[in-house]
Copies of this chain bind each other. A is one copy, B any other.
């Protein structure tokens, strides 16, 4: 792993408590804001085009998630992404089920043209974004992460973005360097919108180290994986896992992020 490591970045993120603008979907709003808050960042859900660009210049980073899309929200996303770009702030795109409808495909193409700095998706989403054919139907992935690693590298080279494919073992690449992140729990895909919350957390680390977006992305994923592992020790089901995971995000420290086997070069 390139320096700085995930544990160091976690300490930097908590020390800075970055303001992160999250334009996310209605399902994820609450859990994403709570995840950022307990992790140590300051979330702000500002979406309307009349203020999303102005706010993007105040925030340390922007995250955009198209889960429950509409034209009005898309306008707000575009204004924010343009303003983040102009202000030199990193922005993260989470193209939820972008392959499912024509409206979503066009919206995603338009957002990709605004140059996201980081992309996070499940394997089906990344495969489809790279031009391949995945097995996704709705918002849940139909493909394993390993099947999307090649597509992620190609997509990163084509787009210039750091690409993160999350699943049982995550994969992150900047087109040259790649890493795998292990941990988490089988309960994680059984809690809705955890992936959307992770996208917001990637924003928190990106705001902390905009000069190190590959390492920032890896650190965010390592934090999620470590917290998932911690919560899974006590949870008996997905309902309890939901709040225990928030407790774990608050409790997890640098040592858990830097545990042996957490991050492996790929």
Contact across chains for A48 and B19 when beta carbons are under 8 A apart: no
Min CB–CB distance A38 → chain B (angstroms): 5
Contact across chains for A54 and B250 when beta carbons are under 8 A apart: no
Which residues of the other chain, B, contact A250 by a CB distance below 8 angstroms?
190, 237-239
Min CB–CB distance A261 → chain B (angstroms): 25
In the complex, A68→B26 CA distance in Å? Answer: 11
In the complex, A47→B71 CA distance in Å? Answer: 11
Highest count of chain B CB atoms <10 Å: which of A58, A71, A137: A137
Contact across chains for A30 and B240 when beta carbons are under 8 A apart: no
When the two chains form the complex, which single residue of B19, B33, B55, B240 contacts A101, counting CB atoms closer than 8 Å? Answer: B55
Is there a chain B Cβ closer than 8 Å to A154's Cβ? Answer: no
Contact across chains for B239 and A101 when beta carbons are under 8 A apart: no
Contact across chains for A45 and B71 when beta carbons are under 8 A apart: no
* In the complex, per-residue mask of A60-73: 1 if CB is within 8 Å of any chain B CB, else 0: 00000001111110
A103 touching B54 in the complex, CB below 8 Å, given contacts A44-B97, A44-B138, A45-B68: yes
Which residues of the other chain, B, contact A140 by a CB distance below 8 angstroms?
42
Contact across chains for A51 and B101 when beta carbons are under 8 A apart: yes
Q: Which of A37-57 contact B (CB under 8 A)?
A: 37-38, 42-48, 50-51, 54-55
Q: Which 7 A-B pairs have the closest CB atoms?
A: A239-B246, A237-B247, A239-B243, A51-B101, A44-B138, A239-B247, A51-B103
